[in-house]
Amino acid sequence: MKNLKNYIIRKAEKAKSASKKLALISTNTKNKALSKIAELIDRKSEIIISENSKDIKSAEKNKLSSALIDRLKLNEKRIHSMADGLRQIIELPDPVGKVLEKTIRPNGLKIEKIRVPIGVIGIIYESRPNVTVDSVGLCLKSGNCTVLRGGSEAINSNRILSDIICEAIVSSGIPAGSVEFIDNTDRKIISEMIKLSQYIDCIIPRGGEGLINYIRENSSIPVISHGKGVCHTYIDKDASLEKAIAISFNAKVQRPGVCNAMETLLVHKDIAKRFLPLMIKKYKDAGVEIRGDKNTKQIVKDIKSAKESDWYEEYLDLILSVKVVSSLDKAVFHIEKYGSHHSDAIITENSRTAEQFLKEVDSASVYWNASTRFTDGAEFGLGAEIGISTQKIHARGPMGLNELTSYKFVVRGNGQVRK
């Protein structure tokens, strides 16, 4: 245990020390390093696949689900897509040094508020090895050092990817220590890591609810959580049937395994009889399992019953809970009570109703007549994202390069003293 603690402290110390230098590195050098990482990843795809296959073999031996094994798996296509992701980050503007505000005070002090890196970011993640590359790419571009702690199931993949990253960055003039990979899968390392507030400025957990809650509750370092997405679509009585069907279908079916997919459909009672039979037929044809409340079941017979626990559930699968509500207020109440404040939509042609929904629903993204599936850094025009924050502090919604920065006040005077 003591060795474990020393090990993680040494890693975090190195990152902290590198962060002072990395904060001052030019955009050009950072972009060269990103390009070098992309090049090496492309070139070394064979060895990446061979290391990844060790993880896949253990996963099969440990009887992990096929969905999980699929998320673990790297092939030529996925490897090139990681490299392309890095090339896209090169194209994004460097946030560091940007003047956010500028003012000259009556006493002549010139004050600038400028973006600076956060410093050292601890990424604690599970399964998908591409998180290693994506996180490093975004953190490096925004001038942040990373301490990476991936899950045991992807240890071989994460190790080879980190080795490649470190080889690339050091040869590109990025300070050694800018990317520190924790090559130890003992879970105790997490509890040590989240206490190192003197070295790590921020923890970003990416993974299941259990991991995220554990970190939120035990970290003495500020955490930016990427919580679950229990997203709703509310079909108002004044909805266009055509839009309601197209959007509800898209929000559930187009990619059910992601956090911005809809999990609960709320339907106003005055449109339920026209809408639900058509909609549920379309869902069933696509293989969606429907779990309805009692009013839904009166309209469409052969569906399962939703239990109270269903309303809290993030299925991440072709399953949908459906509830008939008597008013907009009831819909908003349901969303506030059971939702995760991620992404929620109203479908209506009535602009007053829409604006009330957009105002009253307290979620990171609120939609009028569009699919919740759009909650995404690229779709919002923010560039690549490190995740989608469901908290209100620091960053909310898609978190891109700007959200990986802090700021400082630079004050230039000519002898001013306070009266």
Task: For the segment 268-327, give every residue that binds a copy of itself (CB under 8 A).
Answer: none
Single out the residue of 169, 125, 115, 123 nearest to residue 146, CA to CA: 123
Q: Judged by CB, which is closer to a copy of itself: 195, or 334? A: 195
Does 9 interact with a copy of itself (rule: CB under 8 A)? no
Q: Judged by CB, which is closer to a copy of itself: 317, or 360? A: 360
Give the shortest CB-16-to-a copy of itself separation in angstroms.
10
DSSP assignment letter at 223: B
Residue span binding a copy of itself (CB under 8 A) among the ranges 30-38, 149-157, 165-173, 402-410 = 402-410
Give the shortest CB-406-to-a copy of itself separation in angstroms.
4
DSSP assignment letter at 392: S
State phi, psi for 357 to the nearest 5 degrees. -60, -50
Residue span binding a copy of itself (CB under 8 A) among the ranges 26-34, 35-43, 76-84, 393-401 = 393-401
Give the shortest CB-205-to-a copy of itself separation in angstroms.
13
Give the shortest CB-326-to-a copy of itself separation in angstroms.
19
SS3 of residue 50 by DSSP:
helix
Residues 32-91 that bind a copy of itself (CB under 8 A): none
Longest Cα–Cα distance of the chain, Å, equals: 80
Does 397 interact with a copy of itself (rule: CB under 8 A)? yes
In angstroms, what is the C-alpha Rg of the chain? 24
Binding mask 355-374 for a copy of itself (x = CB under 8 A): ---xxx-xxxxxxxxxx-xx
115 within 8 A of 405, measured Cβ to Cβ = yes
Buried-state track 199-234, b at ≥16 Cβ within 10 A, e below 16: bbbbbbbbbeeebbebbbeebebebbbbbbbbbbbb
207 within 8 A of 126, measured Cβ to Cβ = yes
Does 352 interact with a copy of itself (rule: CB under 8 A)? no
SS3 of residue 228 by DSSP:
coil
Which residues, in sequence order, are bridge partners of residue 103?
111
Name which position in 7, 23, 86, 140 contacts a copy of itself (CB under 8 A): 23
Distance CA 49, CA 331 (A): 48
Binding mask 197-226 for a copy of itself (x = CB under 8 A): x---xx-------------xxx-x-xxx--
Residues 222-251 that bind a copy of itself (CB under 8 A): 222-224, 240, 242-243, 246-247, 249-251
Give the shortest CB-370-to-a copy of itself separation in angstroms.
3
Give the shortest CB-296-to-a copy of itself separation in angstroms.
23
Q: Judged by CB, which is closer to a copy of itself: 58, or 402? A: 402
Q: Judged by CB, which is closer to a copy of itself: 61, or 418? A: 418
Distance CA 145, CA 264 (A): 39
Neighbours of 244 (CB within 10 A): 24
Residues 324-343 that bind a copy of itself (CB under 8 A): 336
Q: Judged by CB, which is closer to a copy of itself: 69, or 211? A: 211
> What are the distances in angstroms from CA 395 to CA 76, 223, 299, 398?
34, 11, 42, 8
Q: Site size for a copy of itself, by CB under 8 A?
A: 71
Copy the structure tokens of residue 12.
């975090």
Q: Judged by CB, which is closer to a copy of itself: 39, or 336? A: 336
Residues 88-127 that bind a copy of itself (CB under 8 A): 103, 105, 109, 111, 116, 118-119
Q: Judged by CB, which is closer to a copy of itself: 208, or 294? A: 208
Distance CA 367, CA 336 (A): 15
